[in-house]
Amino acid sequence: MQALQDFFSEKMHFYSGRRQNICKCHFFSVILPRNIPNMSARKKNKSYRLPVSIVSVVACLVAILSYVYSSVMPGRTQAESTSSAPVAAAAAIDTGTPATDATADIRYELPQVTDSRSQQIIEHLAYTVSYNHDWHLPNWVAYELTHHEVGGDNSRSDKFLPDPLVDGDPVVSKDYSRSGYDRGHMAPAGDMKWSDQAMRESFYMTNMCPQNHNNNAGDWKDLEELVRDLATAYGNVYVCCGPIVTDASHTIGDVRKIVVPQSFYKVLLRKKNDGRWTAIGFVMNNAPANRPLMTYMLPVDEVEQMTHIDFFCQLPDSVQASVEADYTVADWTVKQ
C-alpha cells in the first residue's frame, strides 16, 4: 500500500503542474478533469450526469492500477517469501548465551536404581539425591561440576541441617553425635563454593553418610580434589556417588537408625576433546587407608554390579556399554 501511495503522490505532483482539480479519496487521490461543473451548479441541476470524460479517466485509472499492481505486488510477494530468513537469522544471533548442541540439557549424571529399595528423588540447586528412608542414607547423589563452579569463593557453611524436602521424619545432625563417624559429604562442600545456596544445601543431612574419619579426611578427600582438578582441566565432569550397603545391621543413632555403609563409590563421566565419552569408577572401603587413587579404580560396570544402580543411562546404549566396560587411566589424570 505504501508503494501505491508513493506512486500516486508522484502523479499528483505531476498533474498539479497543470492546475487540475484533485479530489481526495479514502486511500489515494483521484484526478478529475477541469471541466467538471462546480458543486453549486450540481445542486441547481439535480439531473446532472457525469460527462463521458469521467468514464475515460476511470478507465485510465483502472489501467494504471493494473500496471502498478503487476509491478509492485511481485516484489512484495518475493519479500514476504523471504521474510522468514531474517527471523531464522535473528534466532541464531549470539545473545550472550553460549551455543549448545542438542544434548546440552541431558542430565547425564542421573542414574536409575535397578532394585526395589526405598527412594525419594530430591532436587537441590547443585545436586540431586535419591534418598533411602529405610537406611536414612542417600542411594546416590549426582551433579555436574564445571570449571566455573570450581572457581567459587563462598565460605564453607559447617551448619548441618535436616533436609526440608524429605518426606516424613528427616535425619538431624544430632543423630550422628558420639557415633564415632563423620557426617561424610557425598557431594562435597568444596564443589559448592560458587553459590551461597549450593553451599548451604550441601550440608543437608540427605547428603551425608556415616563415614570413617580417616577415609573422609584422607583418600576420599583426595578423590574429591581430583574431581575438581578434572573439571578445571577439561571443562566439566559428571559425578555420581554414594554408599554401598551389603549389611544393614550396623546402625548409629537412637531415634533414627542410620545404616553404616561398608564402602563408598564414585563414578565419573566426561567428554574428551575428540568428542568421545570416557568413564571410570572408584570404590573405597569405609575404613582407614592411605593408598594411591589408582588402586581404587574400577570399570563402571563393576560398580553397577556392586550397587544395583544403572549409571550414565542417558547415553546411547552402544556408547554406555563401551565406556562402562573398561577405563583408561590417562583420561583421568591431570598434569600439574
- The burial of 301, by beta-carbon neighbours within 10 Å (0-12 exposed, 13-18 middle, 19 or more buried), is given as middle
183, 205 contact by CB (below 8 A): yes
Rg (CA), the chain: 38
- Residue 110's pLDDT is what? 98
What pLDDT, in 10s, does the model give residues 223-239?
Answer: 999 999 999 999 999 99
Domains and CATH numbers, the chain: 2-83 (no CATH), 112-332 (3.40.570.10)
Residue-wise pLDDT for 43-96, tens only, equals 334 344 444 455 455 555 655 555 544 444 444 333 333 333 333 333 322 323
Identify the pLDDT of residue 2.
52
Residues of the chain with pLDDT under 70: 1-104, 336
Could you identify the residue written with the cell 502523479? 11
Tell me if residue 185 is catalytic: yes
The neighbouring-strand residues paired with 240 are: 142, 267
Beta-carbon count within 10 A of 76 CB: 13
Residue among 246, 211, 206 nearest 121 (CA)? 206
Q: Which amino acid is at 196?
A: D
Write down the pLDDT at residue 252.
98
pLDDT of residue 61: 64
From the candidates 124, 136, 185, 250, give the one annotated as an active-site residue.
Answer: 185
pTM for this prediction: 0.70
pLDDT (0 to 100) of residue 103 = 64
